[in-house]
Amino acid sequence: MRRKIVAANWKMNMTGETAHNFFSQLNQMTWPDDVDAIVAPPNLYLQGLHSIKGNAKLCGQNCHSEQSGAYTGEVSAAMLSDAGASYCLVGHSERRKYFLESSSFLKAKVTAILDNGLFPIYCCGETESERRNDTHFDVVKNQISNDLFGLSNSEFGKVIIAYEPVWAIGTGLTATSDQAQEMHYFIRSVVREKYGSDIADDVCLLYGGSCNTTNAKDLFSCKDVDGGLIGGASMDPQSFLQIAQSF
C-alpha cells in the first residue's frame, strides 16, 4: 500500500533557532497516524535537528554524486546520512535552472543517494511554455526515463516522485486537481510501462507547486496523488499539520 506523505522543503530559509523551534513543535503535535512527515531543512541544520526525537524524518535538500573529493562547498550523500537524514531531494527545478544540473548528473546523484541508504525524492515538471505548447507530458516522461530508468526494480521501489510544475513553484499558481490527477496518472502509467503494475501501483507520487491549506484537500483527493512536497506553507507548523490533515 502506498504511503501518504507531506514533505516540507524549507529551501534557503530559517535560522538555527527557528528551525529548532519548528522541529520541536512539530514533533510534539498529534500527527495523523497514516501520514509520514518529512522535513528538508538547509543541510547545515540536519545534525542539530536529528537530536530532537519524534516521528518526523529529515531530508537533505541536495547532495553531490561523488562520495568524497575536491568539491568545495558540496555535501555527499554519506554526509547527509551521517547527519541524520533519511531522504534527499534530487532534480528540483531550482537546481536544474540555477545550477544547470544535467540529466547525467541527476542520474549519478540518485545512485549515490540510494548507495548510501537514503530514499530519493525525485522532482520533475514542466515550464509554463512547455505546458502552453502541449509538450508537458513529453517533458516529464523524458525527465523520468533519462534520470531514473537505469535503476533496477528494487532500487526504483525506493524512489518517491514529486511532480512540481515549474510554473506553480513560488508563483501562487497551482495546478487544478484535474491537472494534477492527469499528470500523476500519466507518471504512474510511464512507470508501469517500464517496471510493471506492482511497482507502478506502489510508487508514491507527491504534488508540489504552491500546495497550501486552501487547496491541499482537493489535490489530495485525487486518486494518484499521495501527498505533497510543500514549500512556503511548510514553514509554519500549524499550517503544515493542517495540510497533513487534508487527506
164 is an active site residue: yes
Q: Cα 142–88–176 angle (5° rounding)? A: 55
**Residue reference for cell 530508468:** 149
pLDDT in tens, the chain (247 residues): 799 999 999 999 999 999 999 999 999 999 999 999 999 999 999 999 999 988 899 999 999 999 999 999 999 999 999 999 999 999 999 999 999 999 999 999 999 999 999 999 999 999 999 999 999 999 999 999 999 999 999 999 999 999 999 998 878 788 899 999 999 999 999 999 999 999 999 999 999 988 999 999 999 999 999 999 999 999 999 999 999 999 9
User: Catalytic one among 94, 101, 130, 164?
Assistant: 164
Q: Cα 199–201–204 angle (5° rounding)? A: 90
Single-letter amino acid code for the residue at 243: I
pLDDT tens, residue by residue, 117-136: 999 999 999 999 999 999 99
Taken in order of first residue, the domains within the chain and their CATH numbers are: 4-239 (3.20.20.70)
Q: How remote is the C-alpha of 178 from its chain's centroid? A: 21
The three-state (H, E, C) secondary structure of 87-129, written as one string: EEEECCHHHHHHCCCCHHHHHHHHHHHHHCCCEEEEEECCCHH
Q: Which residues contact 227 (CB under 8 A, 6 or more apart)?
A: 3, 4, 5, 6, 7, 35, 36, 204, 206, 207, 220, 247
Q: How remote is the C-alpha of 39 from its chain's centroid? A: 10
Q: Concatenate the DSSP letters of all residues of 55-95 into one string.
A: S-EEEES--BSSSSSS-TT--BHHHHHHTT-SEEEES-HHH
Q: Give the predicted TM-score (pTM) of the model.
A: 0.97
208 three-state secondary structure: strand
pLDDT tens, residue by residue, 52-94: 988 899 999 999 999 999 999 999 999 999 999 999 999 999 9
Burial of residue 70 (number of CB atoms within 10 Å: 0-12, 13-18, 19+) = exposed
Position 45 scores a pLDDT of 98
Half-sphere exposure of 105 (CA within 13 A, CB side): 12
User: Catalytic one among 92, 94, 136, 184?
Assistant: 92
